[in-house]
Structure formats: structure tokens, C-alpha cells
Structure 1
Amino acid sequence: MERQWLERLSNGDESAFRFLFDHYYPFIYSFALRMTDSDPIAKDIVQDVLIKLWLNRDTLPGIDNLGGYINRMTRNLVLNGMKRKAHEENIIRELHPAPGTSSPTEEAALHRELELLLYKAVNLLPEQQQKVYRMSRSEGLRHEEIAQQLNISRETVKKHMMAALRSLKRYLEEHGSTLGCLAICLLKIHR
């Protein structure tokens, strides 16, 4: 039965994709949620797995065990998600010093200074990178949504975002507190 659905899916049959989506979504989501303990990351993982299945649909008929294939793909993406979560938690710990080590006035002044530095850095990015970065961070759009709005591929969005983050990190390292600025960049408007 599954082989027939894979054949139909490889031919672009959206109802076959819907069947696989309905069948595997609960497993992918619960596995990702259990491993990451993060609803947004689990949802991103589900989306990534399903997009990969659709994009690679022509290779699916050659898979003997779709459940195992999806399990492995999900596990790999979960590991990447866990690394991202650990990185974010480290930044949060660094951003929020122990109580009593700085005054609220000092923190507010530092926050304003870091926001201004980030604003300057974003404005130095090439136009397309600025658009992608702002749509992701300020508007909270996912890569797929940005791709649709800008009429570019999801991979192009990902490349623009990676290039923007590299440029921002480099600028912030040269002009300010690397960890504090990066934390503002990643956390203040992270979606």
C-alpha cells in the first residue's frame, strides 16, 4: 500500500502527499517535541521533513522502509535543532548576568547601544539580505513564507540569511561586544 502512495507522490500527486502528511505528522512532531522540548523547533522540524519529502519525491519509490527513512531524517534534524536550542540558551545566560551585577539603568543604556549598533549593521547589508533578514527577524516569517513573498527559492532565502548573519556577526565583532550584540540580534526578534 505504501509503495503505491510513494509512486503516486513521485508523480506529483498532492493527495498522496496529503496522505503521507496525515500519516506521519503526529510521529514527526511528537518525536521532535520530545527531543527538543520546544514547540517552535518541533514545528520547524516537521516542516523541514515534509518539505524534503516533497522536494525529493522522485527518489521515494526506491525507499524500502519509509518509516525508517523519515525517522532518520527527523532524528538528524532534531539533533540540529537541539544544537540551535543549546546555543540560544548559552546566549541567554550570557545576556542576563547574575542578579545585582548591574543596574537597570546600565542595562537599558547597553541595550539601546546594542540595538543602535545592530540597526547600523543591518543597514549595511545588501538590499536582498536586508529584506530577508527583516522579514525573518522583525516580521517573524519562516523561510518558506519569505521565499513565496519574494518569489525566490527557500534555499536562496536560507543563503541570504546565512550571509546576513555572517556579515552582522563580523560587523558586531569589529564594532562592539560580540556576545551581547549577537544575543540581541538572535533573541530580541528571533522567531
Structure 2
Amino acid sequence: MHTYPSYDEKALLSQVAQGDEAAFRIIFHSYHHKLGAYILKLTESFPLTEEIVQDVFLAIWQNRAGLGAINRFESYLFVIARNRAFNCLKQIARERMRKQEWANNRRDEPEEHGPHIAVGYDGLIEKAVDRLPPQQKKVYLLHNQQGMEYASIAVQMGLSATTVKKHMSLALRSIREYVHSHMDPVSILFVIVLRFFLL
């Protein structure tokens, strides 16, 4: 573990505000363990905690111009982290409710239309995934089949989280274009309605 000499945090934040990356690294190493422990208590998820810590410090760097005016940086940092953690947890809860609603609706579907269209749609997705470039395909499968967060995928593949998100975005766009180009308009409309609660 790195150790850092005592420093004037106010002066250090002013340096970060001016774009000093070395000063930012000191701030990061001084707080990221404490911040991670705090977020982990809220989320009870190591992958989610890693992602939130990265997002918080990325936000600090992107909005660094105002750091010189902050008097209590630790409080400022933890408020940002708490808000992001709560927002993530709310989003997860909403997604679970939507998936449950979708599952309930699927049980009530008429059998003459739902199954064969859904199977055809899933088959098209599989074909679209097989056509993806290797990196995009790997990111897509790790995220959708193994449930890995972007931060964990980035570590496993030796990429930045930003690159992983870009690969995922490109993969989803390619899959969407492929599926829509191989389905008739009626089936596309049915699938959009059928999968509404997953969006």
C-alpha cells in the first residue's frame, strides 16, 4: 500500500482544480479505501461498489474546476458517493420490478403468438451476437450472460471502463440493426410491446 506524507488538503485541491494529476492521485489514494468501505455498507455488492467509486472520482476530476472553493472535501465526497449509491440501488429496484411485471405478463400471454415470435427473436439475437467483432462480443456476453459489471469486465479484459461501455453500446446498436432488418414489421411491433418492461 502506498503511503503519502501529510499535506495541506486545501492547497492540494487547488492544484487538482488546475489539472494537476499527481495531486489528484494523492487525493484518490487518500480516500478511495474509506469511500469503498462506506459504499459497500450501502450496496452490499463489491462489483457495484467498484463501479460507484470509479464514477465518483471520475466526477470529481471532470468537475475539478470548483474544488478550490470546497472547505470540507471529505463531506463533499461522501455526499456525492451516497447519492450515486442510492440512485444505483433505486435503478436496480426499478429494473427488478419491471422484470417481475414482464414475467407476470408473459404468463398471461396467449400461446398462439407469444412463443414462436419470442423464440424467433431470441434466435435472431444469437445470430447477431455471433456476427459481432470479438471484443464487442466478449463484452456483451460477459455483461448479459454472466452479469458482470462494466468495471469488472474492464479489469478482466485489460480495458478502461469507458472502452467497455463503448464496446457495449456498439454491440447493442449492431444487434438492434440486425434484428430489425431480419424481422417483419408486425413481429417487430409485437416484440417491442412484449418487452416494454425490460427497457
Please, what TM-score do these two structures have when normalized by structure 1? 0.61
Provide the C-alpha distance between the structure 2 equivalents of 1:85 and 1:121, rounded to a whole number of angstroms: 29
**CA deviations over 1:121-160 (Å, ceiling 9, x no partner):** 2123333321211122233333233223433221010111
Give the direction of change, closer, same or farther, for the CA distance of 1:181–1:118 in structure 2 (3 Å limit). Answer: farther
Percent sequence identity is 19
The aligned length equals 174
The amino acid of 1:83's aligned partner reads: Q
Aligned to 1:48: 51
Answer whether contact 2:140 2:168 (CA < 8 A) is retained: yes
Answer whether contact 1:132 1:160 (CA < 8 A) is retained: yes
How do 1:25-44 residues align onto structure 2 when only pairs under 5 Å count? 25-31=36-42, 33=43, 39-40=44-45, 44=48
Aligned to 1:160: 167
Provide the C-alpha distance between the structure 2 equivalents of 1:53 and 1:2, rounded to a whole number of angstroms: 22
The amino acid of 1:86's aligned partner reads: R
Q: What is the RMSD computed on CA atoms of the aligned residues?
A: 4.3
Task: For residue 25 of structure 2, give the secondary structure of its aligned residue in structure 1.
Answer: coil
Aligned to 1:75: 83
Bigger-Rg structure (1/2): 2
How do 1:17-166 residues align onto structure 2 when only pairs under 5 Å count? 17=29, 20-31=31-42, 33=43, 39-40=44-45, 44=48, 46-52=49-55, 56=60, 59=64, 62=68, 63-65=70-72, 66-76=74-84, 78-83=86-91, 85-97=93-105, 99=107, 101-102=109-110, 112-166=119-173
Aligned to 1:178: 192
Task: For residue 105 of structure 2, give the secondary structure of its aligned residue in structure 1.
Answer: coil
| Residue range with higher mean Cα deviation, 117-126 or 69-78 | 69-78
Task: For residue 135 of structure 1, give the secondary structure of its aligned residue in structure 2.
Answer: helix
Provide the C-alpha distance between the structure 1 equivalents of 2:54 and 2:162, rounded to a whole number of angstroms: 12
**Are 2:25 and 1:12 equivalent residues in the alignment?**
yes
Give the direction of change, closer, same or farther, for the CA distance of 1:138–1:94 in structure 2 (3 Å limit). Answer: closer
The amino acid of 2:105's aligned partner reads: P
Provide the C-alpha distance between the structure 2 equivalents of 1:95 and 1:140, rounded to a whole number of angstroms: 19
Give the direction of change, closer, same or farther, for the CA distance of 1:72–1:110 in structure 2 (3 Å limit). Answer: same
Q: Which runs of 5 or more residues in structure 2 are unaligned? A: 1-5, 13-21
